[in-house]
Amino acid sequence: MNAYDEYMKQIVVPMRQELTQHGFKELISIEEVNEHMTTAKGTSFIVINSVCGCAAGLARPAAIEAISQLEVKPEHLVTVFAGQDADATAQMREYFADVPPSSPSMAIWKDGELAYFIPREQIENHPKDAIKEHIQGALSQIISS
């Protein structure tokens, strides 16, 4: 590992912890992604994390608040980190290959299928509360269906 990679690894620790401290399981390998995506029953809320400002100021806080305020929560909260865990992120994106890759982004996976996707364009330059409400509306509708 070169000095830049080591530096970035340390820089992103709090960005990872922001989600993991709120119940998200980090998937950091191809195998972990495949295991989750092929065996998870029910609904998974997936956050494709990123080091960018819109992930820090909008995506992660909106996701955390949305989940904390839902009465009925998804069975699984998982995350992959774009730009850091490249193999895991690429593998996750294979499960929704028809959607152009973007980060940060969020997906709702239900019973082996992509049920909903929120791309970066619906996160960046949007108010955090609007993103939170978007997440809550999508999750509530999908979980109850």
Q: Which of 40, 54, 56, 115 is catalytic?
A: 54
Does residue 54 have an active-site annotation?
yes
From the list 33, 37, 52, 66, the catalytic residue is: 52
CA atoms within 13 A on the CB side of 112: 2
Q: Beta 43-49 vs 113-118: how paired, if at all?
A: unpaired
Tokens of 12: 């992103």
State the chain's maximal CA–CA distance in angstroms: 49
The tokens of 97 are what? 């290959």
Concerning whether 115 is annotated as a catalytic residue, the answer is no
CA atoms 60, 66, 69, 73: torsion sign:
negative
d(CA 41, CA 134): 23
Residues tagged active-site: 52, 54
